[in-house]
Structure 1
Amino acid sequence: MKPIQLLMCFLVLFSTFSSHAQNQKSKEFKVAFEKFTLENGLQVILHIDRSDPVVAVALTSHVGSAREKAGRTGFAHLFEHLLFLESENLGKGGLDKMSARIGGAGANGSTSRDRTNYFQTVPKDALEKMIWAEADKLGYFINTVTEPVLAKEKQVVKNEKRQSYDNRPYGHNFSVISKNLYPATHPYNWDVIGSLEDLQNATLEDVKSFYNRWYVPNNVTLTIAGDFDVKQTKAWVEKYFGEIKRGEAIPKMEKQSVTLTETKKLYYEDNFAKLPQLTLTWPSVYEYHPDSYALEVLASYLSKGKKAPLYKTLVEDKKITDAADVFQYNSEIAGQYMLSVTAFEKTNLNEVMNGVNEAFKNFETEGISQQDLNRIKAGQETAFYTNLSSILGKGFQLAQYEIFAGTPDYINQDVKNILAVTTQDVMRVYQKYIKGKDFVATSFVPKGDVNLILDGSTLAAVVEEKIIEGKEDSFDASIAATYEKTPSKFDRSKEPAYGQSPDVKLPSVWKNKLSSGINVLGVENHEVPLVQFQLQIKGGMLLENTAKIGVSNMLAELMTKGTKNKTPEQLEYAIESLGATIRAYATDESIFISGNTLAKNYNATMALVQEIILQPRWDTKEFELIKQSTLSQILQQKADPNSIARNEFKKLIYCKESILSNNRIGTENSVNSITIDDLKNYYTKNTAPSVTNFQIVGGVSKADVTNSLANLNKNWEAKNVTIPKITATNTVTASKIYFYDVPGAKQSVIRIGYPALAATDSDFYPVQIMNYRLGGGSFASQLTQQLREGKGFTYGINSSFNGSVNKGPFTVSSGVRSNVTFESISLIKEIIEQYGKNFNENDLEVTKGYLIKSNARAFETLSSKLEMLYNISNYNYADDYAKQQENIVKNSTVDVIKKLSEKYLNADKMIYLVVGDAETQLIKLEQIGFGAPILLNKAAVK
């Protein structure tokens, strides 16, 4: 995949399906649409939403890994990559290149077992261009796939597999489960990404045959949602898609449920795991099966919240984990029901299994109450509206209903099914699918801890890739494909012109400074009946004692664990009964209490937020649990190469003299030393209205917000809190390479950068403009084009300038195949060195085109509006700063970019960090020219 979670669309849609709950209004709620079918079989769904001048376009093909054959796996996912690269009329760079010019949200895609989709949100003046481009991908693409193109994209997919599976904790777990839950003949037996062997063996003929079979109009749904003219759009769809030939008839996939004849127990010693993990998987039901609705409620009740049987047994009573998770993974022809527990260090997984059985027995005795059923459905209602808050979310929903239920209008039946779930249904599906049924149990344990596995487990078959220096295929991705163009009734090589330029309206911001000192900013918006807010108390780690780093993080965790008058369970119930979420968390510089709620429940939700702030509970039992959970998190980070890179890079960027060099969750020593009195002292001294911002967006007025804060304004004790100014002490005078050894790593995680700018610096936005073509513009950036598209070294790479009121770093981030570590760093260094020198008018044109046109979709969602308010309140930006930034873009010149590059991009004055396999990669890095690499840890280097 391109960088997006594999299950994103399933999760988006499942929460949509299962969250249209008890509120009477939800029974009347509809997403209006129009559907029609072209003569060639293309299904088209149109949905009008004129709230923003943008349009989302999604092309969904009813083909995923389940349409593949054993020995020829990974093809569907491979095409998710290939279709972005080139087509006959878009040319080299394809949709990615066009996206940068038209201000798109970044063309992207995802693959599942049953479908592959391609999607993007664009300013509405680019709609015809998008329809033209999507049609070109479907009907005028396959001739552009050549041997070099295929060879390069194989390397990209391999890097994705290393990053997502091979080089992270528990990465092989899902694969082991699939191979043992489903028979070898079942199309869900293999991973969506396929096997590296199959991918390597795939021929050009194999690939083209697969495409010609499945990528045909009669197997595709086009969804267009947003602000557009329906009549004109229909004409464009007919023009660009109408002459693409229908393919062979596509057979309907029959349901293929599975039954286990015995319980299977497997184990694996994981090179990247520090904690033991047990996963239980039962055969379940396909998507939209009548029992799926009650099973979803069961999953939530068993594992979510303090009343959950698994929480009470495993977390509270046995104290062997901080959480358990139960979830459905339902697909088109079958499904699975999964329970996963990552236990505390050195916990025997037989103890976890005993706890699960005990929790199940408790559930069998007590069942689920009507009150708890209503509570779960309330949360589902809020989730439903949240997932409809963007036009892309609506588009996804309509397409998925069409493909898997036969009509987008299935939403009405879906709602009825959700509302029909009873407490008896929940117990019935538990007894039918879980109680006493055979399952697959996987024990993933750290290397050397095989004594922790479930009794009776056998070693799982896991294929470990061996990466050998110089053994990858070579290719030249620059070779242009030669082919005879597919004939058309008109000249498709001519890109359509832009439509009428959209009139971008910035959200109207209101402000209010309360007498206590709380700074309130809001945007009133009634597109969906939701409110999102965040209360920001400045300080965070900046106000901590350096000997006890982690206090603000633990305080934030404890804040939502009860109040003076409510136990942790009672507070949780009060929140969930409103269909709300309230979350507290800490950053380096603040503590946040954020919330999401139905507009009708806003006042009740805010009353709970104020109770959390003004009447803390200081629950010692919860404090001890948070401490243990934090220690486990610290241990897990030590095994994850990306976490290691993040934490080590902070140390190098800020130096040990700065408090910002610390991992904000702390170390084992600091966390072990923290007492609940430390949290109380921090709270008493450092939480005050004078250092608090409140940002709110949604269906609530300024007057209502002000009234809702009256009690907090009156009763929150005023005190003087001084946020320390961080003096940047670290200046990089000469580049050095630092290496952190992770023996056996399949990838090298790279971080390159230096301390750069604060968000308040006058150059902060100009360097964002400069960075777009370097590494901030995804597929429009030189780093991506050269390291991924040109060399196949990586799955993803980016560069960024990050800052706050304090100076933040410039960073280049990537994970590369371990045996090209030296080559990757050399190329990155060269790109940085030459960037300003080679920057030209075309680069400037692409940069301006994207940054100016993308403003049309900049504030579409509630979250984006909330981010805007955060920037205004923290950095003293003007209310119309987006327009001011647009003027900066318009006034940028090549000469300005060159000067900024010269000032802020010096490859010889940067920190170079590599987290990887020192045995094979360390010594070679001396050739970069920055001296011998400095080894940061004591892992054995043979």
Structure 2
Amino acid sequence: MKKLLILLLVCYSTAAFSQTKLVEKVPQVEGKIVIPYEKYVLDNGLTLVIHEDHSDPVVHVDVTYHVGSAREELNKSGFAHFFEHMMFQGSENVGDEEHFKFVTESGGTLNGTTNKDRTNYFETVPSNQLDVMLWLEADRMGFLLPAVTQEKFEVQRSTVKNEKGQNYNNRPYGLFGEVNAASLYPYGHPYSWLTIGKLEDLDRVDVSDLKKFFLRWYGPNNATLTIGGDVNPKEVVKKVEKYFGSIPSGPAVEPMKLAPVTLDKDRYVSYVDNNIRFPLLLFTFPTVPTYHEDEAALDCLSEILGAGKSSYFYKKFVLTQKAIQASTFHPTSELAGEFTMFTLPFPGQKLADFEKQVRDILVEFEANGVTDADIEKFKANYESNTINGLASVRGKVSQLAAYETFRGDPNYIAKDLERYLAVTKEDVIRVFNKYIKGKPAVIQSVLPNAETEPAAPDNYKPATEGENPFPTIDYSELSYNRPNDGKFDRSKKPVPGQSPLVKVPEIWKENWSNGMKIIGTESKEIPTVAIQITLNGGHQLDAKDPGKAGLAQLTASMMNEGTTSLTSEEFQEELRKIGSSISVYAGQNSTTISINTLLKNLDKTLALTEDVLMNPRFDQADFDRNKKQTIEGIKSSETDPAAIASLVYDKLIYGDNHIFSVPSSGVTETVENISLDDVKSFYKKYYSPSVGELVVVGDVSKEEILPKLSFLKNWKGEKVTIPSLKFTNTTGKTKIYLVDKKEAAQSQIRIGYLTDMEYSATGDYYNSYLMNYNLGGAFNSRINLKLREEKGWTYGARSYFDVGENPGPFTATAGVKANATDSSVYEFMTVISDYKENGITPAELEFMKKSIGQKDALSYETPGQKAGFLRRIVHYDLNENYVEDQMKILNKMTKKEIDQIAKDKLKTDQMVILVVGDEASNIEGLRKLGYEIVRLNTKGEPVDGNTMEGGK
């Protein structure tokens, strides 16, 4: 009898963990766009999709729950997003903050995202860490609720409020989406609020409400687990059965069906935003859901009207210097879509005039119709974007997960591409007539002040109370059903297998007689080529004439404005026809020409690259427009607290007379001094192969690419001397510098000093990077845990050393809620001082070594990652095996060494403490911290009565 009982238990256990059905297997097809996979369904309803790809020793795990803000109810918004936060706060067998800790110390990355229709959680890790990731995800799917406490609930509620403050209330134009949603959708419609929810809703709920929401929507039968990368599908199935098989199904989830949104007339709405300079005019028409038969044609219409330099909106508003930006876009969701047209007019113009001109564009479009070139460009860009989206295992897994969640078909990528490549001119005209022409819209005006007139007086005010006309959910009968695992002990974290062997990309090098240094690697995963030409100098060259700071960046902007044979519009159109991109931009130390193309269009793209590099157009009208846009952009940044903080902080760090105290874009006074002749002269003097570095990554060999780059090899240019700059730390005694941003919802904090370090892959900089990792370099760092996870004062806080070929600062930074400003400064300085005085703990040292030591598996996967790796080698003249040298340093690093670096580098008595926030409400608290307080204006200049003594 005993033997029979044991046999029955074994059979039951086997059944519990092995009833998994293979639904389909899709192989790779030569010459076709396919993401190969195997699809399974567990007995509890969990869908499992596996993508096998051994190109890199990494694995990506994605759990997508088919629940977003659309499953919330009136007066209970923000739950799905709230749970995105709560799911990282520990579960029954995973301690507080340990989810981030375990993933980070494995060398991986992780996050979660929420939108209207789904929530996903994902990790990318070395392939030996798969068991740990499955254990973590299964524990929060089946064992989260026992670990949810009121204390965690309160901390994360505060964190979400700070996210709302940082990304919405305190950000320029941050509230237009909230106003738009409430105005477009009926009262109570689940799209009538944003995913982040309303603060008043978060304030009225308690932890029990949140638990009920989890029980209703987060069962395995409402989830898709997608795993891709260096895995064996048979082994993956067994592991998933082990970790997820015993989790009970949740309540059945039926598809949500709502009537299409309609408007009976134009709805005019407006609000004042004190953080902006340019007013915003926004038209939004209700359209169709994702995957609707009309979606692709509407996307095409959106591109024709407002994407690229040949678009109607660009020509009507930007080219004529009426607006700094103007565009259209067509985002869609599971239940509805929104066709949006917007303009950001320069100040001093009437929004009513812009409304008329937007309507005139629609009339003009109807008269002109759609051209073959319009369709050609649209299809080329969609195909290019689709292929480039498959560059990483994360990109492929995310696509499989989305197709399974919303189509029930992971193999939808070819069908998706097909419906876009099938769009015709007639389709575009048809959807224009059906959804846009003569149809009512929400017309929103965002105003910089109360004196600015909206496009028309408001005629609509979203309802804020009344009966809910939409269905509600009965949460009363839900209860937690703890999984029964038999003898499986979930309290023990799985032991990872042996770390995978990481192969640094095989590289080739070449140096040309004109001074250009070339480095490349062949990558055959997708048929694309990425080329990066770096010309050293950038903003640093502005030091030769500081009165024209911003010249390097304005010259780069002009390089995007066509060639002597092609106007700016014509040049961009040639690129759009082949789905390629060429962009030129300048930063602090370099100008970069970034080129991306499908392999089949490489020759055409390089011909355009040669033309723009050797024959820039430099047209006066283009210059006038770019200069005006630059100046207005600078003026606009003067209202943004984060931009103000960056500007003032650089002034305090580098000193008033240093070129780096001025942004790369310049300031209004210096840009005003720049002429087109200055741009031409800068190009002639400093666009030269003598300071050039070339990186090639893609589906092309050295022998194939070099002949195609002969125009660069034959390039002649002047010898460039980059000015040598002096860097002196003049901070002196630690002080608080206060910039008054009246009634700011958040305060921006920057703390730091100018170091004497330059970049060194195996020297002082690398050692300092290791030291800072536990202080402010990782999510689980002391600074972030204190200010975000313990106090709930910020959406995120960190510290870092920002150095390159020149010395740069150590900086600690965060945006914090206004009423915690003084407390945040105190905690920042307390945490940094404690780390300096008492050093790293043995546990932190072990965490740092594990985390950084295993990161290499994720370092060379995408073309962008490979390009960054190669650029470091060629720019800093590094040994190709420098990563191995770094690992030796890491493995030998001791607590004593880290502690000494902290004492040397954390100069707590010589730091700038910058606060940009509301002075009236913060000044008394800041005084109590005991530092001298210096008052500055938004340009970093002293104001009258600027110095105030602090007191204990």
C-alpha distance after superposition, 1:756-794 (max 9, x if no partner): 22113821011111111011012x211111111111111
Aligned counterpart for 1:125 among listed residues 120, 128, 134: 128
What SS does the aligned partner of 1:724 have?
coil
Q: Do structure 1's residue 81 and structure 2's residue 85 form an aligned pair?
A: yes
Give, in whole Å, the separation in 1 of the partners of 2:431 and 2:683.
46
Count residues with an aligned counterpart: 894
Equivalent pair of 1:267/1:460 in contact (CA under 8 Å): no
Return the letter of the residue paired with 1:41: G
Cα contact 1:919–1:941 (8 A) shared by 2: no
In structure 2, the CA distance between the partners of 1:633 and 1:395, relative to structure 1 (3 Å rule), is same
Which residue is 1:53 aligned to?
A: 57
Q: 1:369 aligns with which of 346, 371, 377?
A: 371
| Residue aligning to 2:864 | 863
Question: Structure 1 residues 484, 239: closer, same or farther in 2, change over 3 A?
Answer: closer
For 1:357 and 1:939, locate their aligned partners in 2 and report how far apart those are by CA, in whole Å.
47
CA contact (8 A) 2:382 2:420 kept: no
Greater shift, 612-621 or 484-493, is seen at 484-493
* Partner residue in 2 for 1:360: 362
Residue deviations 1:278-299 (CA, integer Å, cap 9, x gap): 1110001001000000111111
CA deviations 1:158-180 (Å, max 9, x no partner) are 00000011001111100111111
Contact 1:743/1:917 (<8 A) preserved = yes
Task: Rate the CA distance shift 1:941–1:207 in 2: closer, same or farther, 3 A.
Answer: farther
2:224 equivalent to 1:221 = yes
Distance 1:940 1:456 in 2: 41
Asked if the contact 1:768–1:800 (Cα under 8 Å) also holds between the matched residues in 2, the reply is: yes
Residue 739 (structure 2) pairs with residue 736 (structure 1)? no
Q: Quick one: distance in 2 between partners of 1:389 and 1:618?
A: 35
Question: How far 1:603 sits from its partner (Å)?
Answer: 2.5
Partners of 2:657 and 2:628 lie apart in 1 by 28
Alpha-carbon distance, 1:487 to partner: 4.6
**1:700-757 CA distances to partner (integer Å, 9 max, x unpaired)?**
111233212212322x333221011221123433111111111010100111111122
Distance 1:568 1:935, change over 3 A: closer
**1:611 maps to what in 2?**
611
Cα distance in 1 for residues equivalent to 2:887 and 2:330:
45
Structure 2: which amino acid aligns with 1:675? S
Q: Does the 8 A contact of 1:306 with 1:572 survive in 2?
A: yes
Cα distance in 2 for partners of 1:233, 1:739 equals 55
Correspondence for 2:36: 32
Which residue is 1:601 aligned to? 601
1:798-852 deviations in Å (ceiling 9; x for gaps): 1111111100111111000111111111111011111141412111100000001
Q: What amino acid is aligned across from residue 515 of structure 2 in structure 1?
A: G
Match of 2:5 in 1: none
1:404-443 Cα offsets, whole Å, 9 max, x none, are 1121122232222112100111111111111110000110
Alignment of 1:443-482 (within 5 A): 443-451=445-453, 453-457=454-458
Given the alignment of the two structures, is residue 827 of structure 1 paired with residue 830 of structure 2, yes or no? no
* Matched residue, 1:818: 818
Partner Cα distance (1:486, 1:940) in 2: 67
**1:444-523 equivalence runs, <5 A:** 444-451=446-453, 453-457=454-458, 487-489=484-486, 490-523=488-521
The question of whether the paired residues in 2 share the 8 Å contact of 1:330 and 1:336 is answered with: yes
Give the Å deviation of 1:657.
Answer: 2.3
Partner of 2:281: 278
Q: Distance in 2 between matches of 1:404 and 1:264?
A: 31
Residue identity matched to 2:214: Y
Deviation of 1:598 (Å):
0.6
TM superposition shift of 1:496: 0.9
Instruction: Say if 1:390 and 1:511 are closer, same or farther in 2 by CA, change over 3 A.
Output: same
Distance 1:397 1:531 in 2: 22
- The AA in structure 2 aligned to 1:618 is F
1:430 aligns to 2:432 (yes or no): yes
Question: Following TM superposition, by how much is the alpha carbon of 1:462 offset from its aligned partner in structure 2, in angstroms?
Answer: 12
> What letter corresponds to residue 69 of structure 2 in structure 1?
S
The answer (yes or no) to whether the contact 1:268–1:460 under 8 Å persists in 2 is: no
Query: Match for residue 42 of structure 1?
Result: 46
Alpha-carbon distance between aligned partners in 2 of 1:485 and 1:443, rounded to the nearest angstrom: 51
User: Which of these residues, 331, 350, 353, is aligned with residue 352 of structure 2?
Assistant: 350
Asked if the contact 1:773/1:782 (under 8 Å) is kept, the reply is yes
What SS is found at the alignment partner of 1:322? Answer: strand
Instruction: Label 1:462 to 1:769 Cα distance change in 2 as closer, same or farther (>3 A).
Output: farther
1:703 corresponding residue in structure 2: 703
Determine the structure 1 residue equivalent to 2:685: 685
Tell me whether 356-365 or 782-791 shows the greater mean CA deviation: 356-365
Q: Tell me how far apart the structure 2 counterparts of residues 26 and 759 of structure 1 sit (CA, whole Å).
A: 44
Aligned match for 2:342, one of 340, 343, 347: 340
The separation in 1 between residues aligned to 2:61 and 2:576, in whole angstroms, is: 34
Cα deviation, residue 26, structure 1: 10
- What CA distance in whole angstroms lies between the structure 2 residues aligned with 1:484 and 1:846? 35
Name the CA shift for 1:930/1:175 in 2 (closer, same or farther; >3 Å).
same
Bigger drift between 925-934 and 688-697 goes to 925-934
Secondary structure at the aligned position of 1:330 is classed as coil
Per the TM alignment, residue 100 of structure 1 is displaced from its structure 2 partner at its CA by 2.0
Deviation string 1:288-313 (CA, Å, 9 cap, x unpaired) is 00000011111111111221111121
Question: Which residue of 288, 303, 306 corresponds with 1:303?
Answer: 306
- Pairwise CA distance, 1:27: 7.3
How far apart, CA to CA, are the structure 2 residues paired with 1:158 and 1:321? 33
Aligned 8 A contact 1:54 1:227 in 2: yes
Cross-structure match for 1:419: 421
Using the TM superposition, give the Cα deviation of residue 542 of structure 1 relative to its aligned residue in structure 2, in angstroms.
1.4
**Closer, same or farther: CA 37–646 of 1 in aligned 2, 3 Å:** same
8 Å contact from structure 2 (residues 246, 484) kept in 1: no
Cα distance, 1:485 vs structure 2: 7.8
Contact between 1:614 and 1:712, CA under 8 Å: does it hold in 2? no
Residue 92 of structure 1 aligns to a residue in which SS? coil
Partner of 2:172: 169
Write the distance in 2 (CA, Å) between the matches of 1:434 and 1:939: 52
Superposition TM-score, scaled by structure 1 size: 0.93
- The alpha-carbon distance between structure 1 residues 674 and 927, as it changes in their structure 2 partners (threshold 3 A), is same
Q: Which amino acid aligns with 2:600?
A: K
Corresponding residue number in structure 2 for 1:853: 854
Provide structure 2 residue ranges, at least 5 long, that are not aligned to the other structure. 1-28, 465-479, 947-952
Letter in 2 for 1:517: G
* 2:354 counterpart letter in structure 1: V
- Aligned AA (1:250): V
| Conservation of the 8 A alpha-carbon contact between 1:563 and 1:611 | yes
The whole-number CA distance in structure 1 between the counterparts of 2:521 and 2:927 is 54
Q: What is the percentage of aligned positions where both structures have the same residue? A: 38
Give matches, 1:284-323, under 5 Å: 284-317=287-320, 319-323=321-325
- Report the AA paired with residue 249 of structure 2: R
Query: In the TM superposition, what is the alpha-carbon distance from 1:626 to its structure 2 partner?
Result: 0.5
Q: Distance in 1 between matches of 2:77 and 2:356?
A: 38
Could you say which residue in structure 2 is the equivalent of 1:794?
Answer: 794
Distance 1:386 1:484 in 2: 43
d(CA) in 2 for partners of 1:932, 1:563: 52
Distance 1:760 1:411 in 2: 44
- Deviation of residue 484 (structure 1)? 12
Q: Aligned equivalents of 2:405 and 2:299: distance in 1?
A: 21
SS in 1 for 2:323: coil
Partner of 1:839: 840
Task: Decide which structure has the larger Cα Rg and report it.
Answer: 2
TM-score (norm 2): 0.92
Deviates more, 1:496-505 or 1:57-66: 496-505
Residue type at the aligned position of 1:385: I
Alignment correspondent of 2:950: none
Say yes or no: does 1:104 pair with 2:102.
no
Check conservation: 1:738, 1:936, Cα contact below 8 A.
no
Q: 1:461 to 1:181 in 2, by over 3 A?
A: closer
Q: Determine the structure 1 residue equivalent to 2:587.
A: 587
Query: Kindly tell me: are residues 741 and 940 of structure 1, through their superposed partners in 2, closer, same or farther at Cα, counting changes over 3 Å?
Result: farther
Q: Distance in 1 between matches of 2:207 and 2:931?
A: 43
Checking the alignment, whether the CA contact within 8 Å between 2:33 and 2:413 is kept in structure 1 is no
Residue 939 of structure 1, CA deviation = 8.9
